[in-house]
Amino acid sequence: MSEHPEHGYSEQDVLREVTELEGKSATAARLFDIRRIIGGLFVIYGVIVTIAGLTDDDAAIDKAQGVNINLWTGLGMLALGLFFLIWLKLRPTAPPPPDVIPEEKRAE
């Protein structure tokens, strides 16, 4: 076990710290998966637009040539948001790879 004189850290200390940071990085990647963010935003906005569509009056519907555009857009946004969240649940982010021993350590 060699020690770096300028810092006072052994290679084992550095390797352990790198392994801990890789684990934290993998956890952060799973937490901030883009599917979770997109799905959550589409569900929230979909609920808001769907409620707006359910409460539209006849004048707003007539303005859109008889189509309740807010209702249909809101339902579409809800469907897309749920698709992303279900996709995240069915195909989660891969777990971090198991600790791999570097080539230099295996040779010793």
Predicted pLDDT of residue 106: 52
| pLDDT tens-digit map of 21-78 | 666 666 666 667 888 999 999 999 999 999 999 999 999 899 999 999 999 999 999 9
Q: At residue 3, what are phi and psi to the nearest 5 degrees?
A: -115, 140
Predicted pLDDT of residue 19: 74
What's the longest Cα–Cα distance across the chain? 80
Distance CA 19, CA 70 (A): 50
Type of residue at 55: T
User: 17 pLDDT band (50/70/90 cuts)?
Assistant: confident
Q: Is the pLDDT confidence value at 18 over 50?
A: yes
Predicted pLDDT of residue 1: 47
The two three-digit tokens of residue 95, written as one number: 């777990």
Tell me the pTM. 0.61
